[in-house]
Every structure is written in C-alpha cells, then in structure tokens.
Amino acid sequence: MKRPVPGTAGIATLAAALLLALTGCGGGFNNNKPAQQQSGPASLQVLMASSGDAETKAVQDAAAAWASKTGNKATVTPAQDIAQQLGQAFAGSNPPDVFYVDAARFADYASVGALLPYGDKVPDANDFYESLRKTFTYQGKLYCIPKDFSTIAMEINTDLWTKAGLGTSDVPTTWDQLTTVAQKLKAAGVNPIAIGDTRDRIGAFMVEAGGWIVSPDGTKATANTPQNLQALQYVQSLLKGGLAQYPKALSAGWAGEAFGKGQAAITFEGNWIKGAMQSDYPNVKYTVNPMPNGPKGAGTLMFTQCWGISAKTKYQDAAIKFVEAMTAKDQQLSFAKAFGVMPSRQSAKDQYTAQFPTDKAFIDGAANGQGPVNAPKMDSVLTDFDAGLQQLATTDPQTILQRLQTNTTAAIGG
C-alpha cells in the first residue's frame, strides 16, 4: 500500500487551526458550573431502567398524574442499557433531569459530579431505612432518595417439595439443613437448587458467613477472608455435588425462569420473582422463606435504586418535587402492588406487610441485608468477580477471592 509523503504544509496548518478553534469553542462540554435554573412550568426528562411492562406503565402513569396536578410536564423513557446511556448522557450537555441510579453505580456518578445532592432538601428523609440512605451517601452527603428496595429470599416450589416427601417443617434454616434437604430432593429425581451465577446471589452466602467484599465503611478490601472462603467453598460443594445448578445449565436466562419452569425446587431470588411468576408461570405454587442461616447467622443481599437528579438540570425544584411525589407513602405502596418492589419508607412497612403477608421474608431481610458495594470504579472489578464465580465449580475459591482482593485494593485503596 503506497503512501505518498504529504506535500503541502497548508494542509497541516489548516488541520492545526481547525483543532485549535474547536478546542477553543468546546461547545459541547459544559464546565462544572450548576446549570441556569429556569422558571415557569418545568419539562422533565425521566430515564428509568424498567424491569418490565408493568413497571414502565406504573411509572408513566404516576408521572402523568403528577404532571397534570402540578402543571408541569414529565416524559418517562425506559432505557435499554441505562449504565451506558447515562454514561454517554453525562458526557454530553443534555442528560435527563431525573433518572434511576443503581446503587452499584451510584458512587461512580457521585464522584464525577453528575448528581445533585438534594437529600438535605427533602423534609422527611429520615423516614427511609438507614441502610438504604447510607448506600446513597457519598462523602457525607445524601445524594438521592432510595425509591424502593428488594432483598433475596429462598423460594420453594410446593409441589416439587411434597413430591420429595418433604413438609413445612423441613424448610431449611441452616446451611447443613439446606444440604440435607437438597440431597433428599436429588434422590427423588428433582433438581434441588437453581442459583444465579453472580455475586448478586452467591454474595448472600458470603454475608451469612460473616464476610463481604469491602469493609462497612467502603474503604478497605476484605475479599480474601476465611469467612468469604467458607461461603464460596460451601456453594462450590453444592455445585460439585449436583445439588445446585446455574441457570445456563438449565437452559434458563435466570434462576427464576428455571424455577418457574419447574426445573428446580429451590431458588434464591428477590421480590421481582413475584411479578415474573404471576405473569409467566401463574400455575406454580411456591412459598417465600428467609435465607438459611450461615455460620454467622442470618444474612441476605439488598438491592436498591434511587431517584437521581442531574447536576445539570434546569428544573431543580420541580425535579425534587417530582421525586417527593414518586416516593410518597401511598405512591410507594401502589408501585409495590404494580411491580413487586418494597417501599423504602419505614412508615410503609406495616401497611405493606398487611397487604402482602407472603412477602414477610422479603421485608424482614431489611434487618440483615447487605447493600451493594458503594465505592467508585468497582464496576469492572465486580464484573471480573462474576466471571470468576461463573467458573466456581471448577476453580479454587481461594484464587477467585485473591484476585478480587487484588483488584479491589487497586480500585479503592491507596
């Protein structure tokens, strides 16, 4: 491939001039000044990560109701890949005004200044569970209000349970009992457990053993501890003994799908499984039970998202009012009914338990639930951890944990 040497200096000069001009004007990027506030009726762009049609519809209806009541406009759009879309949007000059922020990515957004810390402007912020508020606090400031939360619990398929000759008193409450029960299920020709192949499920066992990826204040890596090792070794024993399967081995997209199709008697999933079971597998009877206790005791994982407000929004007051409306007690209860999440307000707990008595195990999880890792730049580390967990059946857990420790230290320590 011939490449004649460029001749004219004019071209180079032109290019250089163009470059300088563009860097000078730099129109697309804003510097980090707060945006000029606009008065008058607001027009909010709301970006959500929907779990399904039910959630999309519920949020759009609620937004429309708020809009007509206050005379503003609110357009709700479900995202295809909210992490990517928000990432690109933050780099641009026109991000959405209000959006879901997943707890796992919260610290990333907060640390780059993309979020408005409006927690102190919400009058009854203390009504929200403290652990949830802590998840969304960065450098001492409450950045956003948690919109709901879910925990992991143990679901048991009633029919498959009785088929193996087990009854209500056999519901396992410890790891050892879990193993015993699983062996009985296997002997009866039933796949005992379907468990998701990510830290978002296996991590529950780590919590039950008394360990976690980072220290409680999120500043030190605590991956390589005997407690975590014990947990991973336990899960590995289930996998190796054929007592537990990953969803892909059961040709399912997630453990709940395998559970719904009757391919496993036990699964560990969160509240969202209720909606899925109701719409896709309505004939399956199942019970929701607390996670079995580990060596340390009870433990589960908590998932939550908050209503983030962009630091560049032109309608700060309207956005805050919108969030307050979306997290009002009654609104939270109606969302709970629509798509199976739990209200993040403590004052709503009793009403919720009264309306959904079968979800007691889920909401009790708030007491011992571990929130997601709240440190910036951990996303790729955790994805790597998941990659290791996918091969847990054939890898030494020590190796996986060591790698997690190294990567976590590199990301948050020092």
Nearer to another protein, 168 or 380 (CB): 380
Q: Whole-number minimum distance, CB 90 to another protein, in Å?
A: 6
Nearest to another protein of 6, 123 (CB atom): 6
CB of 273 vs another protein, minimal distance in Å: 14
Question: Which residue's CB is nearer to another protein, number 250 or number 284?
Answer: 250
Instruction: Measure the CA–CA gap between 116 and 309, rounded to whole angstroms.
Output: 6
**Contact yes or no for 99/323 (Cβ under 8 A):** no
CA–CA distance, 192 with 190 (Å, rounded to integer): 6
Residue with tokens 């039950």: 208
Work out how close the CB of 358 gets to another protein at its nearest, in angstroms, rounded to a whole number. 25
Measured from the Cβ of residue 119, the count of other Cβ atoms closer than 10 Å reads 17
Of residues 170 and 384, the one with the C-beta less far from another protein: 384
Nearest to 172 by CA among 193, 195, 188, 190: 193
In whole angstroms, the minimum distance from the beta carbon of 221 to another protein comes to 13
Residue 86 or 166 having the CB closest to another protein:
86
> Any residues with CB less than 8 A from the CB of 378 and at least 6 apart, and which?
104, 107, 408, 411, 412
CB of 409 to another protein, least distance (A): 10
Name which of 45 and 368 has its Cβ closer to another protein.
45
Taking the complex as a whole, the smallest distance from the CB of residue 158 to another protein amounts, in Å, to: 25
- CB of 7 vs another protein, minimal distance in Å: 5
- If you search the block for the tokens 């994982």, which residue do you land on? 301
CB of 174 to another protein, least distance (A): 30
What residue ranges bind another protein (CB under 8 A)?
1-8, 10-11, 14-15, 18-19, 22-23, 25-32, 49-50, 77-85, 87-94, 108, 112-114, 246, 248-249, 251, 253, 377, 379-381, 384, 387-388, 390-391, 394, 406-407, 410-411
In the bound state with another protein, the residue whose beta carbon lies nearer, of 25 and 354, is 25
Question: Toward another protein, which CB reaches closer, 180 or 390?
Answer: 390
Of 160 and 382, which CB lies nearer to another protein in the complex structure?
382
Cα(260)–Cα(146) distance, integer angstroms: 29
Nearer to another protein, 104 or 291 (CB): 104
b/e 57-80 (16+ beta carbons within 10 angstroms → b):
ebbbebbeebbeeeebbbebebbe
Distance in Å, CB of 271 to another protein, minimum: 17
Q: What DSSP assignment string belongs to 87-151?
A: HHHHHSS---SEEEEEHHHHHHHHHTT-B---GGG-TTGGGB-HHHHHHTEETTEE--EEEEEEE
CB of 276 to another protein, least distance (A): 10
Instruction: Collect all residues with Cβ–Cβ distance below 8 Å to 182 and sequence separation of at least 6.
Output: 192, 193, 238, 243, 244, 266
Taking each helix axis from N to C terminus, what angle separates 379-390 and 397-412, rounded to the nearest 10 degrees? 180
HSE-CB at 122 with a 13 A cutoff on CA atoms is: 28
End-to-end CA distance of the chain: 49
Residue 216, burial from CB neighbour count under 10 angstroms (0-12, 13-18, 19+): exposed
Phi/psi for 383 (5° steps) reads -60, -40
